[in-house]
Amino acid sequence: MTEPGPNTLTAEAAQALGPARSPAGILWRRFLEHRLALGSLLVLILFAAAALAAPVIEQLLGHDATLVDLFNAKQPASLAHPLGTDELGRDLLLRLLYGGRVSLTVGLVAALCAAVIGTAVGLWAGYFGGAADALLMRLTDGVIALPLLPLLIVLAAIDLTKLGLPEALATSQDVSLYRIVVLIALVGWTTVARLVRGATLSMKTREFVRAARALGAGAPRIVLVHILPNVVSPIIVATTLSIGNIILLESVLSFLGLGIQPPIASWGNMLTNAQELIWDAPALAIYPGLLIFATVIAFNFLGDGLQDALDPRAVE
């Protein structure tokens, strides 16, 4: 029988250490310990599922979400209209579901686009350094210094036909949705850029990056294969936390009449339509306001949970 060497674990020692855990399993267990984040994830899944099921719910209720019925305007909750009707007689529940589709889409798509831009800027500045780093970081500082809400208000008020866009596109119903996503993505990338730059500066001095460079790997391969996978954690956390802020920005712009334009429904422009009816039909303002509040809080708690789960300094 062979004697165990100094680097060989006995069966008793291996059993004492417990079963080996995969990195994904460790992250999931850490996330489950964050009860607020887990509850927020369930709430967001519920909101997303309800928004996706809006056409099915519309068929079950037998109503058209866009059909105007002034004879049934501002009706209270009933079996036919579970949350009542709005100022034009449209079913409020269906309007909230379709509005959730728009608000959640703007938040997710704009956050992902901003994360892509910020990741590219941060990787380039952190890896290559020098003049590129100085130029990109001064650009980042300049964007951060801009007053965000006034800037978005000015940009959202620009007549797109004067920018050379085709009139058919500039006057289409969906152009307000595209414009909000583009504007927020163009100014919302700075946090991700600074986080990725700092992580890249740390990663490019590691031994595995030096070994890849010594083996002849080019800069694109080193950045994409060796550095980017190791800086994904701050990108995920920053993107998740930014979604709530983006939904708030979209709601504010829509509330001011510069965001999503009717007849497309969003939670923000539903608040705009309800501001003059707050005493006659308070539910028209309460429901979209509560949904905005719950969604933003849920995304913030989810981001906190992901930050704790992905923290490499967490002790097992």
pLDDT, one tens digit per residue, over 67-116 is 888 888 888 888 888 888 888 888 899 999 999 999 899 989 999 999 99
190-193-195-199 Cα dihedral, nearest 10 degrees: -170
Percent with pLDDT over 70 in the chain:
90
The amino acid that residue 67 corresponds to is: L
**Is the pLDDT score of 228 beyond 80?**
yes
**Is the pLDDT score of 121 beyond 90?**
yes
pLDDT value, residue 18 = 47
Please report, for residues 172, 196, 232, 242, 297, the alpha-carbon distance to residue 115 in angstroms, rounded to integers and kept in the order given. Answer: 27, 10, 11, 9, 20
- State the sign of the Cα–Cα–Cα–Cα dihedral 158, 171, 267, 78: positive
Domains of the chain: residue spans and CATH: 30-55+85-310 (1.10.3720.10)
The model's pLDDT over 261-308, given as tens digits with 9 standing for 90+, comes to 777 888 888 888 888 888 888 888 899 989 999 998 999 888 888 887
The amino acid that residue 86 corresponds to is: D
